Structure 1
Amino acid sequence: MSQTDPRIDAYIAQAAPFAQPILEHLRAVVHAACPQVEETIKWGMPSFVYGGKILCGMGAFKQHATFGFWQGASVVGASPERSREAMGQFGRLTRVGDLPGKRELSKLLKQAMALIDARGKKTAGRTAANKAPAGRTATSDVPASKTRAPKPPVVIPDDLAAAFKKNAKARATYAAFSVSQQREYVEWIESAKREQTRSDRVAQAVEWMAEGKIRNWKYVAKK
């Protein structure tokens, strides 16, 4: 196994006993499928980088572990039920058997790598196109397209930021969320009418995020 990070060794060693074999298994499968992968820690949790981009990541909580691809929807398709259960695309993992088989997981990893490679080629192509000859504009042959005004960035409220300082797992979960998932928590807190309600929501949000839960996790239909 190449390009390993001793911080991940320590992370796995400190994880709950049930989570350790899950994390070790995931780590081994990632390295077998992608020998070029590099390990690092992002937002307090183990992450795997390929081609300078985050390929996937994993994490361990009190009662479950998680695993997900950075471009999850493009790799495994949309799965609202699983994504609402916990971070990543595979729900709450309590044993290795909760994951797809090694062959299937390796196939998904190859797909994720291909997406990163394709994006790199597109970026290189745009860079070359922008270097247009004198007298021509780089975008002269590119049709104009309509663009939507982006939503304003999500700003963490001061009281939530203060609570995150006391709970590293909640902070790491929030950082790993998509922008829309972050926005759901922030807007829920900001919509409180009374100070006590807001305080209660901050506490509840931190508790849920420490468990790897998104804002509307309890409305997911259970199978």
Structure 2
Amino acid sequence: MKNEQWDIEVEILKEIIAKTELVETNKWGGCVYVYNNKNVVGVGGFKNFFTLWFFNGAFLKDEKKHLINANEGVTKSLRQWRFTSKDDINEKEILSYIQEAIENKKQGKINKPEKIRTEVIIPDLLQKELDTDSILNEAFLKFSPYKQKEFIEYIETAKREETKISRIEKIKPMILDNIGLNDKYR
């Protein structure tokens, strides 16, 4: 069931946004405005407030201190401007924030999620094999860190050293033939 509590207020925000060069779309069941198909601002009503959310709001100056991070510690860029009454709507300020967001989008200011890079730690038994066989070492290093970790995990999950050694012997031909441990399942 749709929350109709803020329909009039949301329509007022939409009329303000319509004065900009943004294009209205519908994403994730909500109203989103884009510039060159890139998300800039969304609008919607919730139980206790209606809001504008700026997809890269972290880059806005926010001199009037309207913006909040709705999920501190999790959300990196998204910022909300919450309203609880039609009287809270200040068209001039809203247009100023939206214009700044559009300019940031034009300048390519975006906050991409950081990729977590973890170093591949090669267990001693495998490292000894790689050190004694340069062709095997070279072949192993050609694999992505993800596939290297699959081999390492396969070896390290064995409890006994004899099993670890037999697993290394089993994967050597795969490594030399550039076949990942789980390639046949992909």
Structure number with larger C-alpha Rg: 2
More strand by share: 2
TM-score after normalising by structure 2: 0.48
Normalised by the length of structure 1, the TM-score is: 0.41
